[in-house]
């Protein structure tokens, strides 16, 4: 082992590594120029994007306002008086849509997970269960949602069964759950099948049963991988909660429809649409953020 020599005064010689550790980092001139160039390009790209957006907006505005039928369209669809009248009632009805989203969303996730697990069960003894799960997903993914709503909301009360509710909100929520569970089940199934079989084999080699391997090893990975498409399905569910109005439930859409039927002015529909858009945008941005975050972790070799 080599030791540092002592100077004539008896003090040990200063280690170059210690000297470098105390010196502040000074970026090279080339690096400074490169960073300055990157900032300049970013500012130029931002300015160009803002300018092109402004020009596009002005052109669209001029095309719309100079159309021959614009005065009549503005009076029918963009009347400020009817907008002020409709907004409180639409917001009051929107609370029903939010409750439907929360309740139906939770039910869809649970039922979709159960159906997905049923479709991935192994062994001939589970064939009837797999067949029923496959038939369920094929049927409700192929059946249009509006027809499903009409059948459940209008058909179930016509049966006059004892103990069966006729509340259009509950029946509409049931129809939404049935349809969206089929889509979510396929999302979960894709996630389960994306987990490499070696993960299940490793869990079994450690003494876990098939059920424990599915619960503790396969499902956590499958759910993490499928978070972005699941959030997209919830965004779609949030919009489709407005369809329960066909049964008479007074949600945001039905509240707007009542005002339109009385005034023959379609501005309340625009108000209801903008309210749904305002509610959907945060969920869409959350989906984009989660997707980007998972892509970064995947690129860095992190756990997905």
- Per-residue model confidence (pLDDT) at position 2: 47
Burial letters 71-83, b for 16+ CB under 10 A, else e: eeeeeeeebeebb
d(CA 137, CA 130): 11
The answer to whether residue 16 scores a pLDDT higher than 60 is no
Task: Quickly list DSSP for 230-272.
Answer: HHHHHHHHHHHGGGGGGGT--SHHHHHHHHHHHH---HHHHHH
Can you count the helices (H) and strands (E) in the chain?
14, 0
Note the maximum CA span of the chain: 107
- Per-residue model confidence (pLDDT) at position 297: 76
- Per-residue model confidence (pLDDT) at position 303: 53
- Per-residue model confidence (pLDDT) at position 100: 92
User: pLDDT above 90 covers what percent of the chain?
Assistant: 32
- CB atoms closer than 10 angstroms to residue 240: 21
Mean pLDDT score, 6-12: 49
- Per-residue model confidence (pLDDT) at position 23: 58
Highest mean pLDDT among 133-147, 190-204, 270-284: 133-147
- Name the more confident of 250 and 13: 250
- Per-residue model confidence (pLDDT) at position 88: 92
The answer to whether residue 11 scores a pLDDT higher than 80 is no
The answer to whether residue 8 scores a pLDDT higher than 80 is no
Residue 217 DSSP SS3: helix
Nearest CA-CA partner of 267 in 277, 278, 255? 255
**Confidence tier at 114 by pLDDT (50, 70, 90):** very high
> What is the pLDDT of the chain when averaged over all its residues?
85
d(CA 165, CA 157): 8
* pLDDT tens-digit series, residues 141-176: 999 999 999 999 988 888 888 888 888 899 999 999
The continuous run of DSSP H or E covering 227 comes out as helix 227-240
The continuous run of DSSP H or E covering 47 comes out as helix 29-65
* pLDDT tens-digit series, residues 72-107: 888 889 888 999 999 999 999 899 999 999 999 999
The answer to whether residue 132 scores a pLDDT higher than 90 is yes
Burial letters 255-287, b for 16+ CB under 10 A, else e: bbbbbbeeeebbbbbbbbbebbeebeeeeeeeb
**Confidence tier at 22 by pLDDT (50, 70, 90):** low
Residue 12 DSSP SS3: strand
* pLDDT tens-digit series, residues 24-39: 778 788 888 888 888 8
**Confidence tier at 302 by pLDDT (50, 70, 90):** low
* pLDDT tens-digit series, residues 204-237: 888 888 888 888 888 888 888 888 888 889 889 9
């Amino acid at each position: 082992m080599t030791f540092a020599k002592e100077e004539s005064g008896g003090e040990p010689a200063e280690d170059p590594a210690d000297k470098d550790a105390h010196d502040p980092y000074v970026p090279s001139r080339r690096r400074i120029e490169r960073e300055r160039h990157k900032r300049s390009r970013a500012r130029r790209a931002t300015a160009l994007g803002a300018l092109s957006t402004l020009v596009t907006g002005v052109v669209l505005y001029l095309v719309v306002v100079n159309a021959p039928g614009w005065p009549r369209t503005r009076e029918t669809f963009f009347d400020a008086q009817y907008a002020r009248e409709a907004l409180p009632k639409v917001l009051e009805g929107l609370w029903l849509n939010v409750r439907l989203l929360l309740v139906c969303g939770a039910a869809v996730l649970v039922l979709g997970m159960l159906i997905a697990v049923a479709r991935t069960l192994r062994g001939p003894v589970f064939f009837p269960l797999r067949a029923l799960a496959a038939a369920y997903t094929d049927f409700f993914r192929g059946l249009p949602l509006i027809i499903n709503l009409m059948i459940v909301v209008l058909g179930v009360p016509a049966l006059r069964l004892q103990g069966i509710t006729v509340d259009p909100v509950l029946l509409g929520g049931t129809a939404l759950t049935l349809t969206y569970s089929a889509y979510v089940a396929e999302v979960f199934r894709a996630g389960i099948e994306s987990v490499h079989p070696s993960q299940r084999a490793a869990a079994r080699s450690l003494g876990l049963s098939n059920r424990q391997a599915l619960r503790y090893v396969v499902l956590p990975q499958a759910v993490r991988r499928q978070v972005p498409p699941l959030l997209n399905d919830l965004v779609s569910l949030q919009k489709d909660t407005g369809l329960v109005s066909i049964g008479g439930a007074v949600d945001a859409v039905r509240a707007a429809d009542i005002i339109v039927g009385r005034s023959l002015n379609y501005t309340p529909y625009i108000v209801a649409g903008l309210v749904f858009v305002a509610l959907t945008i945060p969920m869409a941005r959350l989906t984009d953020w989660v997707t980007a975050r998972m892509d970064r972790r995947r690129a860095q070799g992190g756990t997905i």
